[in-house]
Structure 1
Amino acid sequence: MGEYKKLNIKDWAAEDRPREKLLAKGARSLTDAELIALLIGSGNLEETAVELSRRILAAVENNLNELGRKNIEFFKNFNGIGDAKAVTIAAALELGKRRKEADVFHKKQISGSSDAAEYFMPLLSDLNHEEFWILLLNRGNRIIDSFMVSQGGISGTVIDVRLILKNALDRMASAIILCHNHPSGTLQASDADLKITSKIKNAAEIMDITVLDHIIIGQNSYLSLADEGMLI
């Protein structure tokens, strides 16, 4: 029996090689696995880069949004993926998130809960921990700025209402929108969610600042307390 020889991408037909395929037909012609294969460059002794990439995608049920939630250690669990390749994949996924975020920010005007959710989705939907954010708006409901208030969960983190109002007053905001994520994906407002919403809303009213909504971000979905009549 002859010595086993690993089939490298260079041994493939030219039209099947991801790099050549991209150059000839454009990036849109490549599958998700082929795009990841371009990032990692090579597979392992048993798999080509594309085969390895297919196995990585299969581990998240071929869901790129779920892949974006994974950390470096997840990628390094696959034979053939070390620090350099794991970092390359993570960097590419982060660039995709930032591009999406930049597209949303250019819109700048919030006309309903879907606009607010669209703004926060790239920031929060892929996180494995909870973050609480504030969106500052002017009188025309145009975005002034946004900032993170706390990290780690509403029930386990003290939300400083004074800090929120100070930032809103300093930036001359007329309205604010609250937002936090549920890493579990559950779209249900907890008692803690409702209590902190009421606390901030009542304090803001004293300063003539309106709390327009509290958005809860899940995985590619959201809940609007205003839409549900829960903004009390």
Structure 2
Amino acid sequence: MDNEKFKLSIKKWAEDDRPREKLLQKGKLTLSDSELIAILIGSGSRSETAVELSKRILSSAKNNLNELGKLSVSQLCNFKGIGPAKAIAIVAALELGRRRRLEEALIQQKITSSNSVFEMMQPVIGELSHEEFWILYLNNSNKVIEQFQISKGGITGTLVDVRITLKKALEVGAVSIILVHNHPSGNLKASEADKQLTRKLKIAAESLDIKVLDHIIVTEKSYLSFADEGML
């Protein structure tokens, strides 16, 4: 048989090289991303092992799990060796990872820095293809009373109603607020509209003894803080 065409199944690999056995014997941290995905899909095809197939899928997503998480079931099924069941397993596992990150952020709801806002909101809006504007309402201990989506827009912008924003603050008894919105383009530069809205909300909030602590622009991988940049 042609060695170039012959591929050993995972069951015939040395025990050290099998992802499941490796996880059991050496722990989950020793496995690469492709080995973890190989465990999810279980098997490859006649021409490649599960790990090789996983490496090919990861490579198409720039070896980035966030990018992989954006692929749909139908897109994953375009890979030879991946059927609906395997595609669903990958999508479900990555969605669980996203939700875990979100829950970890929500457990620590006290805002201590701009980064803590990013960690809280990135799983919510960081990977969206449209823009959303959220308000974090805080008590006097800087703990989040409520997260509220004030508006949802298109790719390039969204509208924010100052009256609704502050009415909600009074309803929940907030003493301060943080403005958060995403830039689907990945651009971290604040637009003139972003700056004008921040000034407008800050002036209106001050008349009610409510402080605007920050305005955070979130992208998939990073953020811009008005407070950190001295823009408030």
Which TM-score band (shorter chain)?
A: 0.7 to 0.9
The superposition leaves residues 170-212 of structure 1 with CA deviations (integer Å, 9 ceiling, x where unpaired) of 2111111011112222110012222322333233233322111
Percent pairwise identity: 57
Paired with 1:145 and 1:7, the residues of 2 have a C-alpha distance of 54
The superposition leaves residues 123-147 of structure 1 with CA deviations (integer Å, 9 ceiling, x where unpaired) of 2323333222111100121111212
Paired with 1:58 and 1:39, the residues of 2 have a C-alpha distance of 17
Correspondence for 2:203? 202
Q: Does 1:83 align with 2:84?
A: yes
Aligned CA distance change for structure 1 residues 217 and 13 (closer, same or farther; 3 Å): same
Q: Does 1:190 align with 2:221?
A: no
Correspondence for 1:68? 69
TM-score normalized with structure 2 length: 0.88
Paired with 1:230 and 1:98, the residues of 2 have a C-alpha distance of 32
Q: 1:31, CA displacement in angstroms?
A: 0.9
Q: 1:155, CA displacement in angstroms?
A: 5.1
State the number of aligned residues: 230
Paired with 2:216 and 2:47, the residues of 1 have a C-alpha distance of 46
Q: 1:148, CA displacement in angstroms?
A: 1.9
Correspondence for 2:222? 221
Which residues of structure 1 form unaligned runs of 5+?
none
Q: 1:149, CA displacement in angstroms?
A: 2.2
Aligned CA distance change for structure 1 residues 72 and 24 (closer, same or farther; 3 Å): same
Q: Does 1:175 align with 2:191?
A: no
Which one-letter code corresponds to 2:109 in the other structure? K
TM-score normalized with structure 1 length: 0.88
The question of whether the paired residues in 1 share the 8 Å contact of 2:155 and 2:184 is answered with no
Correspondence for 1:52? 53
Segment of structure 1 superposing worse, 148-157 or 172-181: 148-157
Correspondence for 2:152? 151
Residue correspondence of structure 1 range 128-167 to structure 2 within 5 A:
128-153=129-154, 156-167=157-168
Correspondence for 1:109? 110
Paired with 1:97 and 1:109, the residues of 2 have a C-alpha distance of 20
Paired with 1:200 and 1:82, the residues of 2 have a C-alpha distance of 50
Paired with 1:167 and 1:217, the residues of 2 have a C-alpha distance of 22
Paired with 1:154 and 1:164, the residues of 2 have a C-alpha distance of 22
